[in-house]
């Protein structure tokens, strides 16, 4: 081998190593970069404000993030399949009104949970059937059920606020604490732990990732892609119904538009957390971190005295960042 050939091979190897290192860095930036931004944001708020770093405020941020984080579990599973569900806001509105009315009427905590989660499961099943068996695109399907849910919520509530002493019975769901940690945050952590175990340690989780990555290949490997899609949409609906009851417990009331504010933070958290909108890639734990990040942004801007209009601009910028990171991953 000539000296020139050896030098050329060495240069080529160095170039490949640099390209591999750059590709690795880009992947890490796309997948975990928002965590670095979160840490910098937290440090800034701790310095710029007197109250952000206090224990009571940090627990408030966690509590505020918990309900949407629970709903985001279902959305994460749907997006991992390469699908999209935008109906959960209307499910929260309808399930929240019906469940709150049931609790006020004497159904108790168990009855309220059964009603709220049941309505969510029903909507999830409808979404699953339309997407899986009728082959209607998930965006169109959930847009339709979103409209239907919003209309049913307005019709059921009659445009009035549902409240009453009975709702005090479920207040402990969002107001109680365990070892100083809000119970709703504990519930969210438990649900994320269960989801993480299923996605990373079980065959069902592997099948879900495989289906989202390449449905045709998963089908040829004898994976029941229809069953996976149905189960995922049903679970997503059930979690939205649970989130509805928790939100009613937190507010002490229910209205026909109580879920309208959920769409933006939940979808942003899922995408920002690294769940690829093309499916088959992402870590569910990052969704939880992203939910906390978004809650800290809202909390921090309030402490800084930022105008609400500017807060909306910041939230839009975060969504743009999330989509940009997803493009970088792909």
The pLDDT, as a whole number, for residue 109 is 84
CATH number, domain of 256, equals: 1.10.3470
Confidence (pLDDT) at 31: 64
Dump pLDDT digits (tens) for 84-106.
Answer: 999 999 999 999 999 999 998 88
- CA dist., res. 82 & res. 52, Å (int): 37
Distant-in-sequence, close-in-space partners of 316: CB < 8 Å, separation ≥ 6 = none
Residue-wise pLDDT tens digits, 239-290: 999 999 999 999 889 999 999 889 888 998 998 888 888 888 889 999 999 9
Any domain includes 256: yes
Between CA 277 and CA 280, with CA 279 as vertex, the angle to 5 degrees is 140
**Which residues make Cβ contacts (< 8 Å) with residue 306, sequence separation at least 6?**
314
pTM of structure: 0.89
In a domain, 22, yes or no: no
Let me know if residue 99 belongs to a domain: yes
The model's pLDDT over 103-154, given as tens digits with 9 standing for 90+, comes to 988 888 889 899 999 999 999 999 999 999 999 999 999 999 999 999 999 9
Tally the domains of the chain: 1
What is the DSSP code (8-state) at residue 254? B
Residue 318 lies in a domain: yes
**Residue 300 lies inside a defined structural domain of this protein:** yes
CA max distance for the chain:
89
Say if 224 falls within a structural domain: yes
**Neighbour tally for 16: CB within 10 Å:** 10
Q: Is residue 44 part of a domain?
A: no
Query: What are the phi and psi torsion angles at 182 (to 5°)?
Result: -55, 135
Which structural domain, as residue segments, surrounds residue 181?
Answer: 52-329
């Amino acid at each position: 081998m000539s000296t020139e050939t050896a030098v050329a091979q060495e240069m080529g190897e160095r170039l490949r190593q640099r390209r591999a290192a750059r590709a690795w860095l880009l992947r890490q930036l796309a997948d975990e970069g928002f965590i670095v931004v979160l840490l910098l944001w937290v440090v800034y708020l701790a310095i710029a404000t007197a109250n952000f770093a206090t224990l009571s405020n940090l627990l408030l941020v966690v509590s505020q993030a918990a309900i949407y984080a629970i709903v985001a579990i279902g959305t994460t599973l749907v997006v991992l399949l390469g699908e999209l569900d935008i109906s959960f806001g209307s499910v929260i509105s309808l399930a929240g009104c019906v469940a709150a009315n049931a609790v006020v009427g004497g159904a108790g905590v168990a009855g309220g949970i059964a009603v709220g989660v049941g309505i969510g499961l029903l909507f999830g099943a409808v979404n699953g059937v339309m997407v899986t068996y009728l082959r209607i695109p998930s965006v169109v399907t959930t847009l339709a059920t979103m409209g239907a849910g919003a209309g049913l919520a307005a019709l059921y509530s009659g445009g009035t606020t549902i409240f009453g002493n009975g709702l005090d019975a479920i207040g402990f769901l969002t107001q109680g604490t365990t070892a100083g940690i809000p119970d709703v945050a504990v519930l969210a952590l438990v649900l994320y732990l269960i989801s993480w175990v299923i996605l990373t340690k079980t065959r069902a989780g592997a099948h879900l990732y495989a289906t989202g990555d390449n449905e045709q290949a998963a089908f040829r490997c004898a994976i029941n892609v229809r069953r996976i899609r149905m189960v995922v949409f049903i679970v997503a609906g059930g979690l939205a119904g649970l989130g509805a009851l928790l939100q009613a417990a937190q507010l002490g009331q229910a209205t026909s538009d109580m879920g309208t504010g959920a769409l933006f933070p939940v979808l942003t958290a899922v995408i920002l957390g690294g769940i690829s909108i093309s499916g088959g890639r992402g870590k569910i734990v990052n969704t939880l971190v992203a939910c906390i990040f978004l809650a800290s942004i809202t909390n921090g801007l309030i402490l800084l005295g930022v105008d609400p209009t500017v807060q909306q601009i910041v939230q839009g910028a975060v969504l743009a960042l999330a989509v940009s990171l997803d493009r970088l991953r792909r």
